[in-house]
Amino acid sequence: MKVKVNQEACIGCGACTAICDAVFEMNDEGLSTAKVETVEEANAQEVRDAADSCPTGAIVTE
């Protein structure tokens, strides 16, 4: 699975970093970024949960 955070859509609520800090981190602008482009299988469910929890749909997976 690949993951990206749409910086235009992220509002910096921190939900994704709370759910999966192995993949998401807040940058200096207070927005979430993905630390990896390709998600390890062990983190895949958390990334899906984070994407479902994102209030703005900023987390894009494929």
Per DSSP, the residues of 9-35 read T-----HHHHH-TTTEEE-TTS-EEES
Instruction: Specify the residue, 39 or 54, whose C-beta has the smaller distance to ligand SF4.
Output: 54
Sign of the alpha-carbon torsion through 44, 48, 49, 55 = positive
Token pair recorded at residue 44: 């895949």
Site pattern 27..56 for ligand SF4 (x: CB under 6 A): -----x---------------------xxx
By the rule CB under 6 A, 14 interacts with ligand SF4: yes
Q: Which residues bind ligand SF4 (CB under 6 A)?
A: 5, 10-16, 32, 54-56, 58-59
